[in-house]
Amino acid sequence: MVPISNVDGCYTFNKKYFSLQRIKTSKSCPRKDLQNLYSLKNFLGYTLYFPCLIYGPFMGYQRYNRITPKRNERNDWKLLIWELLRALSWWFLLQTASHYLYLHYMARDLMAVKAVDTVFGLHAIGYFMGQFFFLFYIVTYGLGIAFARYDGFDPPNKPRCIGRIHFYSDMWKCFDEGLYEFLFTHIYAELCEKHSPVLQKLFATASTFSFVFVWHGCHVFVLIWSILNFACLVGEKVFKYLISCPSYENFVNSKLKLQANGLQRLNAALATQVFIPAAFSNVFFISGQDVGEYLIKGAYTNGWWNYTMLTFCSYCFFQCSQVLLQIK
């Protein structure tokens, strides 16, 4: 049985998206075309589209309108079956892993987490919590995406694996594309533009995360998660600005005598200092305040050697993600 809260959340999101998109389009669209585009029939068809109504993904109304006619019924069936089999295989992997790794239980029980007696065991718990969270959405979003593509719609892409994300701005862009498009189009882009002053962009970012906080529930752990994500995104922007400054490159070349490869490695090592708190922030969202505080304290208060090893592992993740991104 599907929880009513999930259906209600998806329906509410679609209803808001439809209304905001209509307001945005009304500024440049003739009244007659506007009435045809945003008719009651289209409203009901979009908000109650069943494959995306249950667990998502969130599909913007502009995507819903980009329906394409079927070209080859046989190939469409093959693609649908293939996508469903992929989702089923990931579901089977998730269920098998849950049978041996009790991460769903540990995510809700601080005492179970404290039973792990190694620091890197705690880091592994945090990482696999994120991976299990990712797999859950691969399965649930994968089902909705498979049927939406079969029906000729242009749904958002599936979430990108968190092991392939090295800048957490990409987490917001690539984990839930539908939600990101809504946040960017109807909140962030309404408050600032590409060449707006820095303070205006900061205000737009803060307003966006304020909505995220309210949308996910006004709880303390959601507030901590939202603030950490906001701080890490700002830190990432500052980092990218600093490494693009000519004075930084001159300092590295003249003082440190680093070539292009050495400069890239130095930048990756520095970027991990933003990546680490951003990664641990997700534990608050997945597991709550108690487990989140315990794991992030373990990262920063267990001695310099532990943090050095954590930085090295994060650096390796960063470099691998960078290489995979370049290959793709």
Contact 278, 228 (CB under 8 A): yes
Give CA angle at 284 (278, 289), nearest 5°.
140
For 135, the 3-state DSSP assignment is helix
User: Left (φ > 0), alpha (ψ -120 to 50) or beta: where does 56 sit?
Assistant: left
CB burial string 13-24: b at 16+ within 10 A, e below: bbeebbebbbeb
The question of whether 123 is a catalytic residue gets the answer no
Contact 135, 93 (CB under 8 A): yes
Residue count of the chain, please give it.
328
DSSP output for 228-296:
HHHHHHHHHHHHHHHHHSHHHHHHIIIII---HHHHHHHHHHHHHHHHHHHHHHHHHHHH-HHHHHHHH
Q: Which of 206, 223, 67 is nearest to 149 (CA)?
A: 67
The single residue of 99, 104, 166, 216 carrying the catalytic annotation is: 216
d(CA 235, CA 213): 20
Residues designated as active site: 216
